[in-house]
Every structure is written in C-alpha cells, then in structure tokens.
Amino acid sequence: MQFKINFYMENQHQWLNYANQRLSPHYDERPVNCDIDLLVIHNISLPAGHFGTSFVDDLFMGSINCHAHESFASLEGVRVSAHCFIRRDGSVNQYVPFSKRAWHAGGSSFDGRQRCNDFSIGIELEGTDSIPYTQAQYEALVKVSQSIMTQFPKITPQRIVGHCDIAPTRKTDPGEAFDWQYYLNLLQRELRVIE
C-alpha cells in the first residue's frame, strides 16, 4: 500500500485532492501563529450504529432534519464539523480546509493546552465504539494521516490521539473497536516508504 502524497492548494487553504470537497459553514480562523500539531480521531454514525446514511453529511453541512429520527432531537442547533469524514467504504469527504479551525473537539485539552480545536485536525470515522472498522477505513485513514503529516510535520505518530484522550470525561471514541496498533503499524510502514 503506497500512496502518492500531494495537495490541492487554493489561497493557502489545504484540501486533499482525492477527497470529496464539501465546505461546511461550521468553521472559523485558527488563532494567529498557532502551530497545527495534533491529529484527533473520532467516530460518528447517525442514527447511532446506522451506516451509509446522509445524516452525518447533513450535520456537518448544517442541514440536518432533527425530526428525521427520534435520537436527533439533541442535535437541534448544534454546529459541528470535522476536517474529514471517512465512510465505511473508505471514501473521504473533506469539510474544512486544514488551515482553518473545524469544530470537532469541544471542551478538550492535550499536553497542558486547552481548546484542541485551535491546534488540531479532526478526522471522523463512520462507526461506533464497539463495531469493528473496515479495512478500507484503515487504509484511507493512513492515506489521509500521511497527507496531513507531510503538510504539518509537527504532527508525529505520538501526537495522534482519540477524542477520548483529549476529553476523557465526555468522550469514548474512537472506542475499543479501533485497533490503534494496527493503524499505527500501517502508518509507520508507509512513513518509512516515503522517507
């Protein structure tokens, strides 16, 4: 599994050239002179445990119908996004340019710093804490991670965390179903290929 790494650049805002580009209204500017040095992995499915629906896309695009499912009532007025969303088939949607601040982490801290949205990139995997992720998702996640790490070299494997690591009292994702060792082994192998 070897990937060609490159970006589509427009006005210094980074977009993956292999992702489906969908500009979310839910983002803003990062603080001035703020290094991007953390990658956060999440999971999401709407409704929980249902895959292949349009509802995650609708949520990130600010157009979700909160009456479409009884569990969506709590999403009324929620403004959230991630930089990327990786579906079960490995396809990638990008909602926010990497140079901008996506609203994915909420109240969070890492390495003594608060407000992880300021200095992180957020990737959502279509999934739940307890359902195994697909091989296509792991491969896509490695490809996306490589692209990000090439552009932002302060993001190292040691600075790739789960949402559970930066908001442990609120969040559990990507959950016990996420095979960290497998992902990091794949990533390290690919990083060695491009050195």
Query: How do 101-102 and 27-28 pair as beta strands?
Result: antiparallel
pTM above 0.75, yes or no: yes
Q: What is the pLDDT of residues 22-53, one digit of tens each?
A: 999 999 999 999 999 999 999 999 999 999 99
Q: Count the neighbouring beta carbons within 10 Å of the beta carbon of residue 2.
A: 9
Q: Which two tokens stand for residue 49?
A: 């445990």
Q: Which two tokens stand for residue 122?
A: 């957020």
Mark residue 80 as left, alpha or beta (left: phi above 0; alpha: psi -120 to 50; beta: remaining): beta
Instruction: Tell me how far apart the alpha carbons of residues 155 and 120 are, in angstroms, rounded to a whole number.
Output: 9
As annotated, the active-site residues are: 124
The pLDDT of residue 3: 41
- Asked if residue 1 has pLDDT above 70, the reply is no
